[in-house]
Chain A
């Protein structure tokens, strides 16, 4: 009884997570009991709207109840304006994914899929707040396991014999095996850190590291953690799962993998490397190599893809490299640039997968040939896809351009000319021309070619239309008026005391 009373403040601070968890279970229960006899469409809509309601409630709670600075459960979790900001961003992304999922024709499991999306969201929220190595690992697994299953949730049958569900299952297994190995490495790295610091708290680790920044044990731990997290953010050379998963997973699942989980993983990266391992040596060089590889390999490999999803996967690899630049010089001061970049990237990637999801439901393939004449079959989808791709390529006045500009300016401000970060910025700027090339390769069939004979207009479900339009509007507004969001980020960082 005493223990329960003791846990109440912690539960109160974790109310968003609790809301999501309870409503997820409620959605599952309703779906399996009351709605069992209903049509799939109705079940899907009920479960998804319940999930969206949970996200909205959690967002409202986070916005109305921002604690200036507090730690929960004896310092295991942090709750401040910065974590609240990142959590709100991820909840918005998850809500969009749920809305897209509503119209998906891929899965036959309404309650289960919503449950998985919400659990993954809980994992992301905890990951942002966690200040303890063990809790970080647990929340990362809570995030990853639902994503593995969501990748496989494809019940379609293809016309030409091979079922796409088998394809999805293969990708899911690949994702699971890669993810499992990376988790193991991460855990091993964490255990070495624990051996060093005698504590799992990030703050204690930081103190221990400061005392002995050059230990070989620490170097091993850092390397293991970099590799483990490198898998999660799909940075080269740990990116091999990404193209397969992006290609074979249902588009709405891929949207979650490309958007929300990216934001969570990068925030985790920031926390571990700036709060825990600030004074450790050697990791900047590792990250520099990984960033250079990711930028070059991701951009160049994307130019030869014939499938838009694989193309986006390689572009995601390149973007992971861009974001790693933020860690190379003055990491803490680069946080606003990193946050702006990762959130605008997630919006654009999510929007692009929203377009792909609508096309998937309409039976349009995702090869470049299948996109021929898209602008005449559906000007809205083609126009939105152009906006998202141009934002990813960094064409002004879209959000991606300001993200890049701000990130590069922030890195250059702290990197002397002809240092490693400087050359990486040069590489990154050069590769943005390549990014425009592969974006135009997608848009060429969409806008220039005429549609195949007999290909009519593409039906767009109402909810998906609204989501895609809202995301496109967000990308434009964040590009034309970045100061609005930037102001919010800077205030949150200031209040959280990270500056």
Chain B
């Protein structure tokens, strides 16, 4: 039944594409219906299979000459990330309720992306996984290039080329694994069972790992992320930061680490270090940004650094923490981008923090201020929210594996408090001491942004409230009762697929 997450999203995409150009209302309805279907199916599947062990969803031969199967399966990690995808998809539709320009195409591409992402999380055959992974790349380009804002064509092309270069590395590694095993099968279980020679793992592991980690924002290959996030329309940045970056991390865990455990053992120190550099670099860079969305873009790098660090700890608590952090960051980054992109930028038409200072947004749109405060607190790691549990687990795991690096990550958390505080203070609670005339609106703000100071900003709409409540609720539920997801994740990590990781030191 989980396979219908893919099909329902793609059927929705096809229906949206058939709609006449002017039918924005219908396109929205179709998108909301399809996204709700995805979320609903995942929730039902969670209720039906609460164990988190690997369950086969679909299995039939596809290209028998090459041993390629149409093989879909889900375990606890897949379910967690599918739940994230469903939540982000529904919230994304709510936050793009105001898209009027070429709306059917927008929602068709949006649903195409969601279906492909679900496909990646469900694929057990590596050929199939790669197919879904690449299908997810193309819609991102058009979503950003057509409906984006600042330097959208540059940001879109950069993002797509980084993704595609990463996937080219993955393809080479997968081909090498397929050929070397001689197994006449592309199923992950079959390939992971084959003991690849150590000298091959030494180059194949970093190749595949980096190929996936490009999408997860691995420092120093992260530079596509801030520009891409900033250029993207709100729903696309929510999906990009919330879900697509998880594709990369998921690929690292599911494919690179299980296929080449010996390579992992050799390289894990390097990638753990890069993860910590990403944590600190992202946080420090976020501290000095002038653009509201860039702050959140760099904060994503920092949070994804926790995921990579958690993966490299190779102990149970660190790995579970990494997966939980994927979920938590997906929800919180979506919420932060929704506030910055939809609630603030679509109303004020500027994202410059210095310009926002003058607008007294805490009085003009209090809902946005409250949402940002909650999301910011969760993102800093305040207890009671999902971010706290996840980052704590990663820190504990890192402390056991790499005590020095855990200290670096702790510094990153401290800086994280500072940049969230600064952004919140400047964007919402600056008090508006200056008048509009003192601060010139920056050049890239459109001319019609000027009169906004006189007339009141449009109120927060109902769909925006729905979306925000949905994401806040998800973060609180997981923060208060993390066992809900951790049970699934732990069960999955104890599965036979990850048994090979013990060669790399999983304890």
Contacts and interface: CB of A to CB of B under 8 A. Distances in A.
Given A437-B161, A448-B145, A448-B153, A412 B175 contact: yes
A413 interface: yes
B168 A412 contact: no
A429 B64 CA distance: 24
Interface stretch (A5-13, A131-139, A172-180, A481-489): A481-489
A419 B78 CA distance: 38
A150 to B, nearest CB: 35
Contact of A412 (B66, B137, B176): B176
B440 interface: no
A197 interface: no
A395 interface: yes
A483 B142 contact: no
Contacts of B130: 396
Contacts of B63: 402, 482-483, 486
A423 B21 CA distance: 48
A433 B138 CA distance: 12
B161 A397 contact: no
Contacts of B64: 483
Contact of B178 (A397, A409, A448): A409
A426 B62 CA distance: 26
Contacts of A413: 179
Contact of A406 (B66, B134, B141, B172): B66
Contacts of A45: none
A436 interface: yes
Interface in A426-446: 426, 429-430, 432-433, 436-437, 440, 444
B142 A432 contact: no
B176 A396 contact: no
Nearest to B165: A433
B175 to A, nearest CB: 6
A119 B142 CA distance: 44
Q: For the complex, would chain B's binding face be called helix, strand, loop or mixed by DSSP majority?
A: helix
Contacts of A406: 66
Interface in A397-418: 397, 401-402, 405-406, 408-409, 412-413, 417
A433 B161 contact: yes
Most central of A412, A440, A447 by chain B CB within 10 Å? A440
Interface string B100-138: 000000000000000000000000000100110011011
A437 B138 CA distance: 11
Interface in B189-211: 200
A62 B178 CA distance: 37
Interface string B168-180: 1001100110110
A interface, size bucket: 20 to 34
B160 interface: yes
A218 to B, nearest CB: 33
Interface string A342-355: 00000000000000
B157 interface: yes
A486 B130 CA distance: 20
A486 B65 contact: yes
A396 B131 contact: yes
B164 interface: yes
A490 B171 contact: no
B499 interface: no
A148 interface: no
B146 A448 contact: yes
Nearest to A447: B142
Contact of A433 (B66, B153, B168): B168
A390 interface: yes
Contacts of A436: 160-161, 164
A430 B165 CA distance: 7
Given A396-B135, A397-B135, A417-B200, A432 B179 contact: no
Nearest to A483: B63
Contacts of A429: 168, 171-172
A483 B62 contact: yes
A430 B168 CA distance: 6
Contact of B65 (A417, A440, A483): A483
Contacts of B160: 436, 440
Interface in B340-382: none
28 contacts: A395-B134, A395-B137, A396-B130, A397-B131, A397-B135, A405-B171, A405-B175, A406-B66, A408-B175, A409-B175, A409-B178, A413-B179, A417-B200, A425-B172, A426-B172, A429-B168, A429-B171, A432-B168, A433-B164, A436-B161, A440-B157, A444-B145, A448-B142, A448-B153, A483-B63, A483-B65, A486-B63, A487-B65
Q: What 7 A-B pairs come out closest when comparing CB atoms? A: A396-B131, A412-B179, A433-B164, A483-B63, A448-B145, A433-B165, A429-B168
Interface of A: 390, 395-397, 401-402, 405-406, 408-409, 412-413, 417, 425-426, 429-430, 432-433, 436-437, 440, 444, 447-448, 482-483, 486-487, 490
